[in-house]
Amino acid sequence: MQIKRLAVLVSGGGSNLQALIDAIQSGEISAKIELVISNREQAYGLTRAAQNGIATHYLGIKNYPDSNARAEKLNTLLAAHQIDYVVLAGYLSILKPETIRQYEGRIVNIHPSLIPKYCGEGFYGHHVHEAVLANGESESGATTHFVDEGVDTGKIIYQERVPVLKGDTVETLSARVLTVEHQLIVRTVRDLCSGSVKTSE
């Protein structure tokens, strides 16, 4: 089986990226991360990638003020590296329709809630967990899904539930959800690369 080539897009610490790196190194995932891209110059995810010998690229307002130019550069990088799958691992920027159409059925995202709850514009990171707690939910979780031209509206791949415990804070709930995210993103990418996840209906 041909080794799949991945691009991982991050905006922060890159712990989901690290979970993928570890799973590839252990042989759980048959793939190679060809490049890691961030819209934030100081994202620690870029450091994680560099420490593992993975090519990194910063594509943000500082070096590409025009969003169309950023999108064009992203598409150029993905094509140059012959990317099979694009993984959004805590990437806090919306992809342009041109990129989504070019890689239809090959872009996946992980979101820290049970979609369709607490998703869409404005729901990311701690905002999700704050809303879950504020509304007295008994459970939260994480979702992987294909990316379409909406915001968190693509076909769901996998979901995992996380109970909300008495006395939970944003920090404690976030930590438990993040642990599940690591497991879920590995499972999703593993199954994508092995062909056991359908990329279309």
Active site positions, annotated: 111
Angle at which helix 44-51 crosses helix 15-26, to 10 degrees, equals 20
Per DSSP, 65 falls in state -
Per DSSP, 200 falls in state -
Long-range CB pairs of 154-162 (<8 Å, 24+ gap) are 154/109, 155/201, 156/115, 157/108, 157/188, 157/191, 157/197, 158/184, 158/187, 158/188, 159/114, 159/115, 159/184, 160/184, 161/114
Question: Residue 179: how many CB atoms within 10 A of its CB?
Answer: 15
The answer to whether the beta carbons of residues 91 and 8 sit under 8 Å apart is: no
